[in-house]
C-alpha cells in the first residue's frame, strides 16, 4: 500500500525567499507524481506532473524533481510571493492494473509568505 508523506507540515517565509517542499513515497513503482495547490475553500489546482521516466519539470518559478529510487520528490519555489500562500499537496499515481491508476495524496504543506 502506497503511503505519501510531506515535510514540513507548515512553513512561513518572508517574501523573496527561495524554498523547498519535500514529498516522500513508500512504493517506488509509480506511474507519475503530481504537485497540486489548494487555496482555502477551493479545489485542487495541478501545478506540475512528472512522469516516472522524467527527473524534473519546470513551470515559471516552480521546479519539481523526482527520484524514484529513493522515493522522493521536491518542489522548489523561487522568489516566493504572498500570492504563493496556499497548501501544497503531492500525489503519487499507481501504475495501473488492479489499482486503476489511483492517486495517493500526502497530507500537504501549508505555506505562508509574508510581505
Partner 1 sequence: EAGVAQSPRYKIIEKRQSVAFWCNPISGHATLYWYQQILGQGPKLLIQFQNNGVVDDSQLPKDRFSAERLKGVDSTLKIQPAKLEDSAVYLCASSAGLHNEQFFGPGTRLTVL
- Dist CA 75 CA 18 (whole Å): 11
Interface region with partner 1, contact rule CB under 8 A, candidates 11-19, 32-40, 61-69, 75-83 = 32-40
| Residue 82 DSSP label | G
Using the rule CB under 8 A, is 93 a contact of partner 1? yes
Q: Compare residues 83 and 100 and give the one whose CB is closer to partner 1.
A: 100
Residues 6+ apart with CB under 8 A from 79: 16, 17, 18, 61
Nearest approach in angstroms of CB 12 to partner 1 is 17
Q: Identify the three-state secondary structure at position 14.
A: strand
Q: Per CB under 8 A, does 4 bind partner 1?
A: yes
Of 24, 33, 66, 108, the residue at the interface with partner 1 (CB under 8 A) is 108
Candidates 12, 14, 18, 42; binder of partner 1 (CB under 8 A) is 42
Place of cell 489548494: 38
107 binds partner 1 (CB under 8 A): yes
- Strands (E) across 1-115 are located at 4-7, 10-14, 19-25, 32-38, 44-51, 56-59, 62-67, 72-77, 86-93, 103-105, 109-114
Contacting positions for partner 1 (CB under 8 A): 4, 31-32, 34, 36, 41-46, 49, 89, 91, 93, 96, 99-103, 105-108
Amino acid at each position: 500500500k502506497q503511503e505519501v508523506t510531506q515535510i514540513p507540515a507548515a512553513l512561513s517565509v518572508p517574501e523573496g525567499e527561495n524554498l523547498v517542499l519535500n514529498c516522500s513515497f513508500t512504493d517506488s513503482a509509480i506511474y507519475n507524481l503530481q504537485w497540486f495547490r489548494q487555496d482555502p475553500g477551493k479545489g485542487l489546482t495541478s501545478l506540475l506532473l512528472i512522469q516516472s521516466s522524467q527527473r524534473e519539470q519546470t513551470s515559471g518559478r516552480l521546479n519539481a524533481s523526482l527520484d524514484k529510487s529513493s522515493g522522493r520528490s521536491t518542489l522548489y519555489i523561487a522568489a516566493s510571493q504572498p500570492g504563493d500562500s496556499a497548501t501544497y499537496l503531492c500525489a503519487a499515481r499507481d501504475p495501473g492494473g488492479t489499482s486503476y491508476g489511483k492517486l495517493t495524496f500526502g497530507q500537504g504543506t501549508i505555506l505562508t509568505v509574508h510581505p
